[in-house]
Amino acid sequence: MDLELTEICTCENKEAHMEAVIELPSFDSKLGSFPFLEKKPFELHIVNRENKHLLVEGETDVMIAIPCDRCLKEVPVRIHLIFDKKFPLKETEETKEEVQEADYMKGFHLDVDRLVYDEILVNWPMKVLCKDDCKGICRKCGADLNLQDCNCGEDELDPRMAAIQDIFNKFKEV
């Protein structure tokens, strides 16, 4: 969603509250595509500070379906997003790098979806579990160990310890 900010950007010290809507159907990254389960319209507070900077503030919550890191079941994860950005209105030598790094503003249009995408990326959880004691899936047969036990890995030893196991088997007393 693009917000038209011409009136705010051209009037010194102008303030406005605008409702923004997230139009992204899913969060797509190198990790995969994660659908939004919940996204609500939210308020953005936008301020023109002496025709030098545009301040954009706001916050919202989104819920995204992310697979459990152990068993791969989809887990609804709530991510709280806080927007607190400062955009230069006049390009100077110092602000050229800032403008290139964050291209949320195109002319007098604010790209809300790009702003939301970057905030989700920053707030992405390191590890997602369906429950704290999730057992995961079996490496051999793929059975969900939370639902059933399998007999695949009971005798499996660490392959790095195979040489030591051979020594024990060779000198085993009968």
pLDDT tens, 93-117? Answer: 554 555 444 577 887 888 899 999 9
Q: What is 91-156 written as a DSSP string?
A: --TTTHHHHHH---EETTEEEHHHHHHHHHHHT--S---SSTT---B-TTT--BTTT---SSSSS-
Q: How far is Cα 111 from Cα 5, in angstroms, rounded to an integer? A: 11
Are 59 and 82 in contact by the 8 Å Cβ rule? The answer is yes
Are 39 and 62 in contact by the 8 Å Cβ rule? The answer is yes
Residues of the chain above pLDDT 90, percent:
48
Q: How far is Cα 12 from Cα 148, in angstroms, rounded to an integer? A: 66
Are 1 and 113 in contact by the 8 Å Cβ rule? The answer is yes
pLDDT tens, 111-169? Answer: 899 999 999 999 999 999 999 999 999 888 888 989 988 877 555 667 787 788 788 77
pLDDT for 100: 47
